[in-house]
A and B are shown apart, each in its own frame.
Chain A
């Protein structure tokens, strides 16, 4: 019985201690002059899609949910954000070479139309991020046009 108490106390202590280990927040205060929105001026409908369904993991500004204050949830989120930004950072889109931008745009379209993005685990907690068929089509059309114009400036 005593052993069990010590174990429980240990677990409680560990849970309390890890609350103090907080990774830095992914919230840049800098102006996003290099962002995809700033350089390509998408219409509001596209802007909304980007904001609601992509930006949390693919930009320098995450809107953290309340449960992000709890560890180890936050670590899990930061891990996702770090990977997401490595694949695609919409706030640093201007830094990609012309060809890389075309590739990224095509990849975005593929991931969205195939339903691979946004991630199912993300949609589970963010119902508003779910994309309708209509929204997916709007995004595809916008990307197609943009890719064509980028290709023609070669």
Chain B
């Protein structure tokens, strides 16, 4: 009995340790990445931006389920952003756009399997996100892309066009209209 316990414990230890070291490695690799853009991701707006980008990438990959998951996370991140101290300009943008953006994120999260509807809300969401990011700033360079066929914009973390409105059927439709750099 005792020896069983001992074996169980030690296996658990080994597992835990190996997980930890894996995390350490992950961390150091992201650290390496981040040293290029210096500032660590701590601001609430970064969470908002990252979840938005996750939705965008999921839609570009025609992955409705992943878009829904990120939508739920974006919703809570946007609500959390409202608890921050804001300057008057930020406050105005937040009252004007956040409710709308939260609603869009909610719809995206509730419509796994209905990518058409998710994309409709993504269009409005992108519109709101642009103003929110302009007011709250970004720690990574973003590109505002425009799709003339859909007559809609989106924001991306890379220059290359990957159209979230059409996905694989027209992945490269669109062009970069603006570069939003970190302040």
A residues contacting B by CB (< 8 A) are 87, 97-100, 103, 106-107, 110
Contact = CB atoms under 8 A, between A and B. Distances in A.
Given A97-B95, A103-B100, 15 more contacts: A87-B103, A97-B96, A97-B97, A99-B96, A99-B97, A99-B127, A99-B131, A100-B99, A103-B104, A103-B124, A103-B127, A106-B120, A107-B120, A107-B124, A110-B120
B166 to A, nearest CB: 17
B120 A100 contact: no
B100 A106 contact: no
A99 B120 contact: no
A140 to B, nearest CB: 15
B46 interface: no
Nearest to B96: A97
Contacts of B96: 97-100
Interface in B77-117: 95-97, 99-100, 103-104
Contacts of B127: 99, 103
A65 to B, nearest CB: 29
A109 B47 CA distance: 32
Contacts of A97: 95-97, 100
B108 to A, nearest CB: 13
A110 B128 CA distance: 19
11 contacts: A97-B95, A97-B97, A98-B96, A99-B96, A99-B97, A99-B131, A100-B99, A100-B100, A103-B100, A103-B124, A110-B120
Contacts of A110: 120
A134 to B, nearest CB: 24
A55 to B, nearest CB: 21
A110 B131 CA distance: 24
Contacts of A98: 96
Nearest to B121: A107
Contacts of B97: 97, 99
**Taking each of A100, A103, A106, which has the highest tally of chain B beta carbons within 10 Å of its own beta carbon?**
A103
A107 B100 CA distance: 12
Interface string B120-160: 10001001100100000000000000000000000000000
A106 B120 CA distance: 9
Contacts of B100: 97, 99-100, 103
Nearest to B92: A97
A110 to B, nearest CB: 6
A87 B124 CA distance: 14
Contacts of A99: 96-97, 100, 127-128, 131
Nearest to B128: A99
Nearest to B127: A99
Contacts of B99: 100
A107 B124 CA distance: 9
B101 to A, nearest CB: 10
A132 to B, nearest CB: 24
A99 B124 CA distance: 9
